[in-house]
A and B are shown apart, each in its own frame.
Chain A
Amino acid sequence: MPLNKITRRTALLGAAALAVPMPAFALTEPQARRYVQNIIDDFLETINSNASDADILLRFRQVFSSYADFPTIARLVLGAPWRTLSANQKTAFSEAFADYLSDKYGQRFRAYRGATITITRSVDAGRKGILVYSSVARVGQAPFDLDWQVSDGSGQTKMLDMIIEGISLISSEREEIRARLSGNRGNIDRLIADLRG
């Protein structure tokens, strides 16, 4: 495939010459696994703490916000309408979505109290980032798969997606947000208010 090679090299040279900013995918698999291990540690510490329910949810929100790439997730979840939003609306939607998501998953993950989560392996997914596999074990129950998509494409290493037994957080929330947007007759400001609940 010499032609391919030339095209690719030419494109790269061209990009370099024009100083076009290209995302630098420098994240390595060991770095991504360490990053996910940090998420898991903070996450388990939070749900296993003896703090009040309200404090745990608050802490969960902080943990989630520090690791998840909310601007990117918000954009992916909203899809095409994202491009029609004003800068203010984009910020408002990202923030409302982040709070909504943290609360929703915080509630749900309380059930993981006492679980152990073990990273099993990882794979380099190219421009999609790094896919890190982990397994969640709870006493007396069958273990299940929890996979993580981590990328530094935004400039910082961040979590993009969590996939539980194949079910992607981004896909599920895209369905949910889409349904809520049409429930609000496509009005983004009403959707934002709806998310703030």
Chain B
Amino acid sequence: MNIISRTFLRLPVVLLAGFLAGCAANTPTQEDHIYDPFEATNREIHDFNKAVDQALLAPLSGIYGAIIPEEFQYFLGNAVTNLGQPNAFVNHVLQGDGDAAGDTLVRFVLNSTIGLAGMFDPAAEIGVFDQPTDFGETLAVWGVGEGAYIELPLLGSSTVRDTIGMMVDFGIDPLKYALSDEQASYLFTARVLNLLGKRHEYDDLIRALLYESADSYTAQRLSYLQNKRHALAGETTIDDLEDPYALE
């Protein structure tokens, strides 16, 4: 369910601003450590996002899945991932993770050349796998707390830390300085198409979460936060576990 964060809730880089004013305090208190002081606003945005999914994203992704050959979907997915490597490289370096930075560089060089502009993934064939990261994770490595949960219009679930991270990524992505405006617009289109592909691929899970939960807002919030924390920690920790006999 990686899925959820990677695709629907953490849509790639588009910009967003203004919403962060006044996000200060940083003490998770409730059960499952959820800190959501903006719940009322978040819920309104959630309803909007859900309406967009229902009216646009779900039907368009159905069409995309039906008419676009799977090979093309696969090539596009690889190419989009490949063009995310420069930004991942910068962040791995900022996190002081030389191994991951090295792997990411090797991937980008191999896949951009032998992999025909990233359509294929020869690096994975030799065991050098994608290690996605972003500036939100860099902030986490630097010790910045998660902050309040926020749901962003069109972009979905986030936290204060991840929203700041997303804005910084927008500025530090080396690709931004390497591409012409025209190329950048192609990349944006490719990302949007790839997003439709992901929405199609994980249709069952997204449907269950958004349309079969008694409260899709809390279901999405929990899935995002737990999945994100797991991704940052790299594993489930003892702290994450329920203490089953604490209540008795």
Give residues in A with beta carbon < 8 Å to B: 23, 69, 72, 75-76, 79, 82, 108, 111, 123, 125-129, 131, 133, 142, 144-145, 147, 149, 151, 153, 160-161, 163-168, 170-172, 174-176, 178-180, 183
3 nearest A-B residue pairs (beta carbon):
A166-B230, A179-B215, A179-B214
B17-25, B82-90, B232-240: which lies at the A interface? B232-240
A-B contact pairs, 9 of them (CB 8 A): A76-B247, A145-B235, A164-B1, A165-B230, A167-B222, A167-B230, A174-B31, A174-B32, A175-B222
Given contacts A127-B243, A129-B244, A171-B222, contact A165 B238 (CB under 8 A): no
| CB pair B213 A179 closer than 8 Å | yes
Looking at the complex, which one of B2, B213, B226, B228 makes contact with A171 (CB distance below 8 Å)? B226
State in angstroms the CA–CA spacing of A16 and B162 once bound together.
Answer: 51
Q: Does the CB pair A176–B219 fall under 8 Å?
A: yes
Are A167 and B1 in touch, CB under 8 angstroms? yes
Q: A161-B242, A171-B222 are in contact. Are A166 and B229 (CB under 8 A)?
A: yes
Complexed CA–CA distance, A178 and B229 (Å): 23
CB distance from A87 to the nearest CB of B (A): 15
Contact A133 B235 (CB under 8 A): yes
- Is the Cβ of A160 less than 8 Å from the Cβ of B244? yes
Residues of chain B having any CB pair with chain A under 8 Å? 1-2, 31-32, 204, 208, 213-215, 218-219, 222-223, 226-231, 235-236, 238, 240-245, 247
Residue from A76, A126, A183 in contact with B214 in the complex, judged by beta carbons closer than 8 Å: A183
In the complex, A161 Cα to B240 Cα: how many Å?
Answer: 11
Nearest residue in A to B223 (C-beta to C-beta)? A167
- Could you say which of B215, B227, B235, B243 contacts A167, with CB atoms under 8 Å apart? B227
Chain B residue nearest to A110 in the complex (CB): B204
CA of A180 to CA of B228 in the docked complex: distance in angstroms? Answer: 26
Closest CB of chain B to A74's CB: distance in Å?
A: 11
> Which of A108, A131, A153, A174 lies in contact with B244, CB distance below 8 A?
A153
Contact A166 B31 (CB under 8 A): no
- Taking a contact as CB atoms under 8 Å apart, the answer to whether B236 and A166 are in contact is yes
A128 x B242 contact (CB < 8 A): yes
Which of A82, A123, A166, A170 makes the CB contact (< 8 A) with B242?
A170
**B242→A111 contact, CB < 8 A:** no
Q: Which residues of A contact B243 (CB under 8 A)?
A: 127-128
CA distance in complex: A29, B223 (Å) = 28
Which residues from chain B contact A171 at a C-beta distance below 8 Å? 32, 222, 226, 242
* Contact partners of A179 in chain B: CB under 8 A: 213-215, 218
How far does the Cβ of B21 sit from chain A's closest Cβ, in whole Å? 29
For residue B1, which residues in chain A have a CB less than 8 angstroms away from its CB? 144, 164-165, 167
With CB as the reference atom, state the residue of chain A lying closest to B230. Answer: A166
Taking a contact as CB atoms under 8 Å apart, the answer to whether B241 and A149 are in contact is yes
A145 CB contacts on chain B under 8 angstroms: 230, 235-236
Q: Contact: B218 with A144, CB < 8 Å? A: no
Cα A165 to Cα B1 with chains together (Å): 6
Taken together as a complex, chains A and B put the C-alpha atoms of A179 and B10 apart, in Å, by 25
